[in-house]
Amino acid sequence: MQHFLSVKDAIDVQALVKEALLYKKTPYADKHIGKNRTMGLLFFNSSLRTRLSTQRAAQNLGLELIVMNVGQDGWGLEFEDGAIMDGNKAEHIKEAAPVVGQYCDIVGIRSFPTLENREEDYSENVLNQFVKHTGRPIVSLESATRHPLQSLTDLITIEELKTKPRPKVVLSWAPHVKALPQAVPNSFAEWMNAADVDFVITHPEGYELAPEFVGNAKVTHNQEEAFKDADFIYAKNWSSYNDYGKILSQDPSWKITTEKMALTDNAKFMHCLPVRRNVVVDDAVLDSPNSVVIQQAGNRVWAAQVVLKQILLKIIREESPYLF
Ligand code: AN0
Ligand code: CP
């Protein structure tokens, strides 16, 4: 694997899931493949799970780590080509990225969208410039439009908990107080479309996701209809794609409740976290035995570990082709 930016970088999604579940049983099976190599994690935004699980995964493979909150502690970065840098940006990506590339063998980047300019966010300018200028494999730790480590985790969790060969998986919009990115639902949809599941998306009118992510999913504005016979309910808030970055509704009737969960086929409740209790989902659902959010977050380690392993294997192969 060269980079990990979207589902397209996974040559065989099912094989990745299987390998990740193997790592869950034997976390230290490849303890030496990262020896004398360093991974850098650069955060432009807050994180708990992504930061810690990726560190843990890297450690399990023997990698050294450098972590930086670049959004807080770094120089303001300019991404525009030809910019006259007389404003508050002290450093251009053309210097910053290759410098980081000299210290690190693999680089993870978390960079949320501005939610102001759709074209710019959806062009993935920040992530692509890191790919172009770092000269190292790049792992998305959530970019403007995707969160692939989360989505691989979600698929791993569904695989280990499913009780039917082809479960019904429902992605449900839920209310929130802030305007959130579409990255998690976009990415979840992209990965579910690549998996063997009956995939349904439900959201209020105006919250349509970009068509390239929706793919062949069934889409309905009737949440209760969507919940019928579901095996997994995946709740997430997102801001509007069409009326870009706007909160069109905070309709509390879309909150996930025990009554709605009762419409399902004893579905498991999933959420990427962090989650606002009693806004997105009721306490009673999160505290019920059907909530798998903690197990899901735990699986972030195995998703990251399998991705880092694939990237390391490519690096090692290219350095020592005679070994293979
Ligand atoms: C972020 C989002 O919705 O993209 C990160 C989720 C993993 N969530 C918040 O900012 C609350
Ligand atoms: N789910 C997730 O990515 O969580 P963090 O934002 O805490 O990393």
The reply to whether 323 falls in a domain is no
Does 103 share its domain with 243?
A: no
Q: Is the CB of 303 under 6 A from ligand 2?
A: no
Give the Å distance between the CA of 320 and the centre of ligand 2: 35
Is residue 110 within 8 A of residue 45, CB to CB? The reply is yes
Q: In this structure, what token pair is assigned to residue 114?
A: 């501005």
Structure confidence at residue 321 (pLDDT): 79
Nearest CA to ligand 2 atom 1: 272
The answer to pTM > 0.75 is yes
Structure confidence at residue 250 (pLDDT): 84
Does 311 share its domain with 214?
A: no
Q: Say which residues have a Cβ less than 8 Å from residue 1's Cβ, sequence separation at least 6.
A: 9, 10, 11, 137, 307, 310, 311, 313, 314
Distances (CA, A) of 130 to 5, 13, 54, 78, 262: 11, 25, 19, 12, 46
Does 212 share its domain with 100?
A: no
Cis before 137? omega within 30: no
Which CATH number fits the domain that encloses residue 283?
Answer: 3.40.50.1370
Q: What digits encode the pLDDT tens for the residues 244-279?
A: 999 998 899 999 999 999 999 999 999 999 999 999
Q: In degrees, to the nearest 5, what angle opens at C-alpha 61 toward C-alphas 45 and 96?
A: 40
Structure confidence at residue 322 (pLDDT): 79
The ligand 1 atom nearest the CA atom of 150: 7
Does 141 share its domain with 161?
A: no
- Ligand 1 lining (C-beta closer than 6 Å): 180-181, 183-184, 272, 274
List the domain range (segments joined by +) for residue 185: 150-298
Give the Å distance between the CA of 49 and the centre of ligand 2: 4
The reply to whether 2 falls in a domain is no
Does 89 share its domain with 193?
A: no
Does 191 share its domain with 157?
A: yes
Structural domains counted in the chain: 2
Q: Is the CB of 143 under 6 A from ligand 2?
A: no
Q: HSE-up of 259 (CA within 13 Å, CB side)?
A: 5
Does 282 share its domain with 178?
A: yes
Strand partners, 235: 172
Structure confidence at residue 116 (pLDDT): 98
Does 19 share its domain with 94?
A: yes
Give the Å distance between the CA of 2 and the centre of ligand 1: 26
Does 132 share its domain with 248?
A: no
Low pLDDT (below 50) residues in the chain: none
Give the Å distance between the CA of 14 and the centre of ligand 2: 23
Does 154 share its domain with 113?
A: no
Q: Is the CB of 150 under 6 A from ligand 2?
A: yes
Nearest CA to ligand 1 atom 3: 180
Which ligand has its closest atom nearest to the C-alpha of 53? 2
Helices 148-161, 49-60: crossing angle, 10 deg rounding: 80
The reply to whether 131 falls in a domain is yes
Structure confidence at residue 249 (pLDDT): 86
Query: Hey, which of 51, 115, 142 would you mutate to test ligand 1's pocket, going by the most ligand atoms within 8 Å of its Cβ?
Result: 142
Does 287 share its domain with 176?
A: yes
Does 306 share its domain with 194?
A: no
